[in-house]
Amino acid sequence: MSTKKSAKKSTKQSTKPSGKLSMKSSAKKTKAAATPKSARAPKRTAAKAAVKATPVASASEFMAHAYAMEAEAAERYAEFADSMEMHNNREVAELFRKLSRIEQRHADQILEQMGWKQSPVSSADVRWEGAEGPETADSTELHYLMQPYHALQIALHNEKRARDFFAHLAKVTTNAGVRKGALEMEEDEAEHVRLIEEWLKRTPKPDPNWEADQDPPVLSD
């Protein structure tokens, strides 16, 4: 598996497939992180999936898992976008839609790099240490009044989980091909983390009362 470390590019920039075996291209850098924890939400705990490796015995299996991870993340962001759109939060909907497209592009790149028409392993059959993939956003973190900053927080959290996942996999695997791929991925994910952190710096922080709703859903009297 060859390394294709993405050059530093703008976060908004899309990337073309490298044609090589790097699992995540610079396209991923465009990804905004997602972790919109509402003020009411309990304190986030690190997902188990981010720190425990899934058993992969070959480079091909590794890529199939990577594909599943990207596809699952893309599906979740698309779901978030639909939900935000339905609740007329168009700005955040657009951001999640972008994240979904980026993740899907990464998934497609893996297929292309491996010469697969489809992954040999159905994404639904892949099992992680946690309930979902290391890059899949937690579905309970949404709030209908959330702002782009929250969406980026979610994405940042997921990128960190993905980075930790690959780092751990590289550490524990006994397969040289898997280790090489995992290290490349860890490096890519680490760069995505940095990019999203930069993006967050440019994004206005929400007002402390961002959750305030003059017509709240809970009956108040």
Residue 81 CB, nearest distance to another protein (Å)?
Answer: 10
Q: Least distance to another protein from the beta carbon of 135, Å?
A: 14
Q: Judge contact between 1 and 114, C-beta under 8 A.
A: no
Between residues 10 and 139, which has the closer beta carbon with respect to another protein?
139
Which chain residues interact with another protein by CB under 8 A? 38, 40-42, 45, 75, 79-80, 82-87, 122, 124-127, 131-132, 138-144, 146, 217-221
Report the alpha-carbon distance of residue 98 to residue 19 in Å, rounded. Answer: 23
Judged by beta carbon, residue 96 or residue 180, the one nearer another protein is 96
Q: Which is nearer to another protein, 94 or 197 (CB)?
A: 94
Nearest-angstrom CA–CA distance, 68 and 57 = 16
Alpha helices in the chain, H assignment, sequence order: 59-86, 90-114, 148-172, 176-202
Nearer to another protein, 4 or 106 (CB): 106
In the complex, least distance from residue 79 CB atom to another protein, rounded to whole angstroms = 6
CB of 61 to another protein, least distance (A): 17
**8 Å CB contact between 132 and 159:** no
CB 23 within 8 A of CB 185: yes
